[in-house]
Amino acid sequence: MLAGDETLEDEMYETEIEIKSSDGLHMRPAMQFVDLANQFDSEITVSNQQDTADAKSIMQMTVLAATYGSKLKVVAKGRDAKQAIEALKELVDTKLFGNAAAGQDEKE
């Protein structure tokens, strides 16, 4: 089984996420993203077309300056990479920005 464990440590998964909030990936949702990324042992990076950031660093994540409509590539490498990608995608797609439009309607 050790050979299988070594293989799992090298697993790599990736996904693309889109920022759907008109406010972009500002400090509060970025911190939630970083907090969740830090719950995993895998190395996780997020990149736009110009820069790549460590998903576990709020300072690096803010450098991405992800505005509404930005598409970001998230890559995780490690034994829990699949779980990390799934959790981060769910956070962005449903928890962070899933109700953004509904919240804006209530203000009007």
Residues identified as active-site: 26
Nearest to 34 by CA among 11, 62, 9, 13: 62
**Cα–Cα distance, 18 to 80 (Å, whole number):** 23
Nearest to 45 by CA among 72, 66, 21: 72
φ/ψ (deg, to 5) at 75:
-125, 130
